[in-house]
Amino acid sequence: MADPFNDRHTLDANPFADPAIQGALNSSHRAYEPSSGGQTYGHSPADDDDVDDPVSRATGNSQQAVNKMEELARRERELEQRERDLSARAAHIQRHGRNNWPPFYPMLYHDIEAEIPPDSRPIVANVYKLWLLLVAALIVNLVATVFLLVQGSPDGGKDMISGIVYLPVISAASFMLWYRPLYNAYMKEASFFFYLYFVFGGFHLAYSAYMVIGVPATGSAGLINTIQSFQGGRIVAAILGTIATVALALQGLGNLWYYRLTWQHKNEQGHTFAQAKQEFATNGARAYFSRN
């Protein structure tokens, strides 16, 4: 018969021999052994994201280096372009000074945006366009007088010779005697230039009326010459004369309008003839070419 106290003795000698305790120990041991998936207890796949990957770090550093090199190359190209622009500008200034007009042979500095106050820019810009229209009208007028001669106008030779003279002389004189004074007047708010403009601008208005009338043998293919060309069958000369007449009339009327606006501006700013005389006595003709 088995001793009922034998198991009690064994448990007293080795308390871990209890089956319940052995089962708990075995279960705990299995919890720390690698599973069939190759993972251990307490480890999750998310922990891999925190691992410092040398390959990823090297790739990121390489991309940053490439970006820096591209940025440095872009800045270097910009600096080189800026140096070329500065060199070209310095060469231009060395050759022509600050002059930029006319473009084919700079003799004056002309920049409405840079030199004319904002309130006065529209007037000066539009008067400049009218001056360009005058030059275009004189060119068409010259061609029309050539056709007057070719198509048998009695005074075609005189008209053509005068037309040849008008183109360079009137173009240059109008720019220097009334457009440039107007430009300087608004740039410097100087009484002398306002009055200089009024004198020669008035002569130009009279000249415009003279050209629009178009008396034969005066160098103008204006109204009278155009009518006679239509009547005489000189169609080409008549068409060109019509274009020249319209252009001359438009620039004349436009200049008359801005002449009136400039007169109002002069009165509003308080410019007087006495101030004009004083400015001329102080600065003389050099003020015409200086920017101060």
Q: Name the maximum alpha-carbon separation found in the chain.
A: 165
User: How far is 211 from 146, CA to CA, in rounded Å?
Assistant: 16
Contact 224, 216 (CB under 8 A): yes
Contact between 162 and 145 under an 8 Å Cβ cutoff? The reply is: yes
36 pLDDT exceeds 50?
Answer: no
Alpha carbon 253 to its chain centroid, in Å, reads: 30
Residue-wise pLDDT tens digits, 211-251: 999 999 999 999 999 999 999 999 999 999 999 999 999 99
Residue 41: its pLDDT value, please?
47
What radius of gyration, in Å, describes the C-alpha atoms of the chain?
A: 47
Domain ranges of the chain: 114-288
pLDDT score of 21 more than 80: no
User: CA 211, CA 246: separation in Å to the nearest integer?
Assistant: 11
Structure tokens at 91: 């060469």
Residues with Cβ within 8 Å of 24's Cβ and at least 6 positions away in sequence, in order, are: none
Q: Which of 29-38, 47-56, 199-208 has the lowest mean pLDDT?
A: 29-38
What secondary structure letter does DSSP report for 219?
T
Alpha-carbon distance of 125 to 97, in angstroms, equals 24
